Structure 1
Amino acid sequence: MKRSVGTPETLKVRVLKLKLDTYITKYYYKRLDYWVLEKDLKVKIGDLVLIRLMDEAYSPRVKFEIYKYLHQLGEMICPVTGQGVRGLEYVDPARTDHIGNFPEKWQDNVMNNTMVQRMRLLELGRELETKEQELNNDDEDDDEDDDGDTFV
């Protein structure tokens, strides 16, 4: 995505379409760039959006509008450590203030979520241990009930 200089509410969006190469019968991506009207959504570079044709063109160049906001890129958080990630490297949370990609207190929210997940896992582990102990106790009780008589 690229913002327009003259009108800040218009964006340049790249659309990938599959085009069939009939000689080798394989599909390839064909890149098409469209100028799109952004109404109330504030999207950033790299976000995935759906666009649709407007009833009336905004300008001779701008004929499409952003229909739906699908996925936000650039704010990836590692589920194991709870730290922000860019590529293969962790991001220092002290330096994200001037970048503006991470919301305030994002690390606290992620850490709380991971703590809740860990607590749930511990509870599930305890439930499994109690069920195993009950099954083992039932097996021991069945072994004690045998009087040594064999039934055929």
Structure 2
Amino acid sequence: MLGHVLKLSAVGYEQFPCACVRVRRNEFNSFLNMYFSKPTDFWALTKEHTIAIGDLVLIRKLDTSVVPTVMHSVEKVVLRHGHLVDPITKKRVICDVYEDELALRNNLVKTLLQQRLSRLS
């Protein structure tokens, strides 16, 4: 199941790291003959993953649970919050500009400022 991380916490006496993940599921309404999105929250173990609030993660149900209240585990971090990547060029995007173009622009501005300051001196 795919969902967003809402909370990070530690559960149990041994303080297992876990996250509250909100998964949106489609629920069928037989009267209207339509599906509607219904949010469901799951607690998932996050042993070897470093995740943050807002990340999009893939969770799977555990065969045997370590803690009775936690039945899922985080399998993969699909998309980090605030880290946008263009799917076609595979480049990182900041606002509407690629990261490498932004760095090039900053370097050009620095060199122009240094040239003008050297002329004034």
TM class by shorter-chain length? 0.5 to 0.7
Instruction: Report the TM-score, using the length of structure 1 for normalisation.
Output: 0.51
* Deviation per residue, 1:103-149 (Å, 9 max, x gap): xxxxxxx1xx22799xxxxxxxxxxxxxxxxxxxxxxxxxxxxxxxx
Identity %: 31
* Number of the residue aligned with 2:8: 3
* Higher radius of gyration, 1 or 2: 1
Correspondence 1:53 to 2:61: yes
Correspondence 1:78 to 2:83: no
Q: Distance in 2 between matches of 1:13 and 1:28?
A: 19
Deviation, structure 1 residue 74: 2.5
Gaps of 5+ in 2: 1-5, 85-93, 105-121
Q: Distance in 1 between matches of 2:10 and 2:79?
A: 25
Amino acid paired to 1:67 = E
> Among 86, 97, 101, which residue is 1:114 paired with?
101
* Number of the residue aligned with 2:71: 63
Q: Distance in 1 between matches of 2:103 and 2:43?
A: 43
8 A contact 2:46–2:73 mirrored in 1: yes
* CA separation of 1:115 and 1:45: change in aligned 2, threshold 3 A: closer
Aligned length: 88
8 A contact 2:8–2:53 mirrored in 1: no
* Number of the residue aligned with 2:26: 18
Gaps of 5+ in 1: 83-109, 118-152
* CA separation of 1:23 and 1:41: change in aligned 2, threshold 3 A: same
SS at match of 1:18: strand
Deviation, structure 1 residue 46: 1.1
CA RMSD of aligned residues (A): 2.4
Deviation, structure 1 residue 22: 1.1
**Which structure: greater strand fraction?**
2
* Number of the residue aligned with 2:112: none
Higher RCO (C-alpha under 8 Å, 6+ residues apart): 2
